Each structure stands twice: as structure tokens, then as C-alpha cells.
Structure 1
Amino acid sequence: MLKIIAGFEKTLYGILLFLLGIVLIASVLDLAYIVFEYIFDERTFPLLENKEILSIFSLFLLVLIGIEFFETILAYLRENVIHVEVIIMVAVIAVARKIIVLDTSDTTTAHLIGLSLLMVSLGAAYYLVRHSNGLYPLKKE
């Protein structure tokens, strides 16, 4: 019975991986279309506004988040283990994306402090996970 459930779970992960791959391909094509539209449009290319540049950066980071999720699902299918390190990196990229495209006109100090604490916490978590794997020893011997 447990083998059937494990097989069903692997099948679901495979379907998720396939669907995420389709979404990633569509996202990359959409991003390429937007970038080329800006480059070849004589009216906007030399004078891209900050909001346009930030929206392009936001799309790039969104694609990177999708790729990290893809890698997480793929690693689970290969090794039957979810890599916490990759999940933390996805969170770091997501928060960094939020900070990069943050509109400062309607942002409170508490919001900025919260984002700062979140980044510090994720950085500490990433360091601790890497250290627990022996990749960043605290002292050299």
C-alpha cells in the first residue's frame, strides 16, 4: 500500500514538474518578447523609465524563482529529499524581488524594518543550513 502511495506521489510530482516547465517556457518567452519590444521600439528604448526597468527586473527574478522551484521538484524526484537550502534561496530571491520593485511612496517604516528582519533571518537560516551540511565550517582546523 505504501509503495502505491509513494508511486502516486512521484507521479504527482512529475506532473507538477511538467506543468512548471511549461509555465517557465511561457514566462521566458514572455520576458523575451517584452525585452525585445522595448529594444526595438524607437520611442521607448533610449528612455526607459524606472518603472519599466523595474518591471523587467521583476520578471527576471520571477523566472529565477520558478527555476529554483523546478530544481527543488527535480531534486525531490531524483533523491526523494527536499533540499531546505534551495527552498531558503527561493525565499531570498522572492524577498529580494519584493525589495527591488518596492514602491517607496506608500511604504511604511515598519514595512521596511520587517523586510530587513526577514532578509537577515533568511540569511542566517541559509548560513545555518549550509553550516549543518559542513559546507561552511565555523572554525578552521
Structure 2
Amino acid sequence: MLEYVEKFEKTVYAVIMLMLMIVLVAGMFDLVSLLWKFLWEESPLLLQAKEMISLLGAFLLVLIGVELLDTIKAYFRENTIHVEIVVLLAIIAVARKVLLLDPLGLSPFEYGFEMISIGVIILGLSAGYYMIKKAGITIGPDGIKRSV
């Protein structure tokens, strides 16, 4: 019975990996079209601040997808989840949130509270990433392991 469950699990991961690759290709097309639009159509060879923020947001979204694909690929290859990749992915996602944050739509109190909250999240994720890298922890089918 466990063999069937493992085969099913591998099939689900393979389908997720295939769908993620399709999403990454679409994200790349979106990034290229945004770059083309901003560089050649809107204001030739001159990026405005909002355009730069949009481009960086699209770039980081593709980067998040690549990291997700790397996580699934590592699980396929080694049958382990690399926790440091997942935490790094969270750090990139929070960085994307900071870049796309629009202070004009918030009151000064809301904006300050959101920035402090994001800072606490970044500190926690960074500390966790540091400790995971220092300990060399990965999670596999046999539980938590420390790589030497």
C-alpha cells in the first residue's frame, strides 16, 4: 500500500512541476512584454519609478517560481525538502511585498505599522535562515537530518 502512496505522491509532484514550468514560461513572457512596453513604447530608454517597481515585482515573481521549481526538483532527486530553500523563498516573497507596497493608499499609521510588521517578519526569517544554514538541516522521509 505504501508503494502506491509513494507513486501517487511522485505523480502529484510531477504534475505540479509541469504546471509550474508552464506558469514560469508565462511569467517570463509577461516580464519580457513589460520590459518591452516600458523601454520602447511608454518612454523610450527611460524607466519611471512606477515602471521600475513593476518590472522588479515581475522579476521577483519569476524568481520565486524558479525557487519553487528548485524545491520540487530537490524533493524528486533526493526525496528531501530543503528547508533553507523554502525560507529563502519566503524572504524573496516578503522582499517583493516591500517593493510593491504603495504608501499612497494607506494612512501614515497603517503604513508605519505595516513596515514594522514586515521588518519583524524579515528579521525572523533571516534569523531562521541563518540558523538553518549553520545547522545544515534538511527534512527527509526519515525525519529531520543534519547534513555534515
TM-score, normalised via structure 1 length: 0.89
User: Equivalent residue for 1:129?
Assistant: 132
Structure 1 runs, 4 residues or longer, greater than 4 Å off: none
Structure 2 unaligned blocks of 5 or more: 138-148
User: Equivalent residue for 2:4?
Assistant: 4
User: Equivalent residue for 1:110?
Assistant: 113
Q: Distance in 2 between matches of 1:111 and 1:39?
A: 32
Equivalent pairs, count: 133
Residues 43-122 of structure 1 aligned to structure 2 (within 5 Å): 43-105=42-104, 106=106, 107-122=110-125
RMSD: 1.4
3-state SS of paired residue (2:101) = coil
3-state SS of paired residue (2:74) = helix
TM-score, normalised via structure 2 length: 0.85
Say whether the 8 Å CA contact 2:84–2:129 is kept in structure 1. yes
Give the deviation of 1:40 after TM superposition. Answer: 2.0
**More divergent stretch after superposition (80-89 vs 100-109):** 100-109
Q: Alpha-carbon deviations, 1:16-69, whole Å to 9, x = none?
A: 00110011011101111121122222x423443211110111000000000000
Give the deviation of 1:126 after TM superposition. Answer: 0.2
% identical aligned pairs: 39
